[in-house]
Amino acid sequence: MQELDTAGLGSVRVTRKSDNVVVLEKDLATEQMVLAMGPQHPSTHGVLKLECLTDGEVVTEAVPYLGYLHRCFEKYCENVDYPAIVPYTDRMDYLSGMNSEMAFSVAVEKLLDIEIPRRVEFIRVIVAELNRIASHLVAIGTYGIDLGAFTPFLFCFRDREHILSLLEWASGARMLYNYIWIGGLANDVPADFNKRVREFVAYFRPQAKELYRLLTENEIFVKRTKGIGIMPADVAINYGWSGPMLRGSGVKWDLRRNDPYSVYPELEFNVAVPDGKFSDIGDCLSRHIVRALEIDESLKIIEQCIDKMPGAEGFDPKSAIPKRIRPKEGEVYGRAENPRGELGFYIQSDGKSTKPLRCKARSSCFVNLSAMKDLSKGQLIPDLVAIIGSIDIVLGEVDR
Amino acid sequence: MPFLMGNTLNVWSQAIASFQPMGLPLGLVILAAIPLVFIALYSLTYGVYGERKISAFMQDRLGPMEVGKWGILQTLADILKLIQKEDIVPTNADKFLFVIGPGVLFVGSFLAYAVLPFSPAFIGANLNVGLFYAIGIVALEVVGILAAGWGSNNKWSLYGAVRSVAQIVSYEIPAAIALLCGAMMAGTLDMQKITMLQSGSLGFAHFYLFQSPIAWLPFLIYFIASLAEVNRAPFDIPEAESELVAGYFTEYSGMKFAVIFLAEYGSMFMVSAIISIVFLGGWNSPLPNIGSFALNDLTSGPAWGAFWLIMKGFFFIFVQMWLRWTLPRLRVDQLMYLCWKVLTPFAFVSFVLTAIWEIYVP
- The residue among B133, B104, B78, B134 whose CA lies nearest residue B258 is B78
Q: With CB atoms and an 8 Å threshold, state whether B59 touches A154.
A: yes
Query: Scanning every residue of chain B, which has its alpha carbon at the shortest distance from the alpha carbon of A43?
Result: B242
Closest Cβ opposite residue A220 in set B58, B61, B234 = B234
Closest Cβ opposite residue A20 in set B92, B326, B333 = B92
- Which pairing describes strands A379-380 and B117-119: parallel, antiparallel, or unpaired? unpaired
B79 inside domain: no
Across all residues in chain A, what is the average pLDDT?
84
B37 inside domain: no
With a cut of 70, which residues of chain A have pLDDT below it?
1-30
Reported as a single tens digit per residue, the pLDDT across B289-324 is 777 777 777 777 777 888 888 888 889 988 988 888
User: Which DSSP string corresponds to A125-179?
Assistant: HHHHHHHHHHHHHHHHHHHHHHTT--HHHHHHHHHHHHHHHHHHHHHS-SS----
Chain A residues near residue B241 by CB distance under 8 angstroms: 42
Q: Measured between CA atoms, how close is B39 to chain A, in angstroms?
A: 29
Put simply, the chain A residues between 322 and 351 with a CB less than 8 A from any chain B CB are none
CB contact B334 to A (< 8 Å): yes
Q: With CB atoms and an 8 Å threshold, state whether A20 touches B240.
A: no
B36 inside domain: no
Reported as a single tens digit per residue, the pLDDT across B126-141 is 788 888 888 888 888 8
Chain A residues near residue B59 by CB distance under 8 angstroms: 150-151, 154-155
Q: Taking a C-beta distance cutoff of 8 angstroms, is the pair A215, A144 a contact?
A: yes
Residue B217 CB-half CA count within 13 A: 20
Q: Measured between CA atoms, how close is A12 to chain B, in angstroms?
A: 17
Tell me if the bond preceding B234 is cis, omega within 30° of 0: yes
The DSSP H or E segment spanning A11 is: strand A11-17
With a cut of 50, which residues of chain B have pLDDT below it?
1-4
B30 inside domain: no
B31 inside domain: no
What's the pLDDT score for residue B191?
Answer: 86
Q: Taking a C-beta distance cutoff of 8 angstroms, is the pair B155, B191 a contact?
A: no
Q: In 3-state terms, chain A is what percent helix, strand and coil (to 5)?
A: 45, 15, 40
- Substitution target from B326, B331, B334 for chain A, most A beta carbons within 10 A: B331
What's the farthest any 2 CA atoms get from each other in chain A? Answer: 75
Chain A residues near residue B326 by CB distance under 8 angstroms: 149, 151
B180 inside domain: yes
Q: Measured between CA atoms, how close is B232 to chain A, in angstroms?
A: 11
Domain ranges of chain A: 73-370
B232 inside domain: yes
Report the distance separating Cα B140 and Cα A239, nearest Å.
51
Residue A360, SS3 per DSSP:
strand
Whole domain around residue B199: which residue ranges? 85-360
- Substitution target from A52, A381, A384, A385 for chain B, most B beta carbons within 10 A: A381
Q: Which residues contact B342 (CB under 8 A, 6 or more apart)?
A: none
Q: With CB atoms and an 8 Å threshold, state whether A218 touches B55.
A: no
Select A73-370's CATH number: 1.10.645.10, 3.40.50.360, 2.40.110.10, 3.40.50.10130. Answer: 1.10.645.10
Q: Give me the total of CB pairs closer than 8 Å, taking one residue from chain A and one from chain B.
A: 77
What's the pLDDT score for residue B114?
Answer: 82
Q: What is the pTM of this model?
A: 0.83
Q: Which residues contact A158 (CB under 8 A, 6 or more apart)?
A: B60
CB contact A155 to B (< 8 Å): yes
- The residue among A190, A179, A197, A86 whose CA lies nearest residue A124 is A179
Chain A residues near residue B330 by CB distance under 8 angstroms: 220, 223-224
Closest Cβ opposite residue B328 in set A19, A147, A383 = A147
B50 inside domain: no
Report the distance separating Cα A231 and Cα A369, nearest Å.
13
Query: Scanning every residue of chain A, which has its alpha carbon at the shortest distance from the alpha carbon of B240?
Result: A148
What's the pLDDT score for residue B7?
Answer: 56
Q: How many domains, chain B?
A: 1
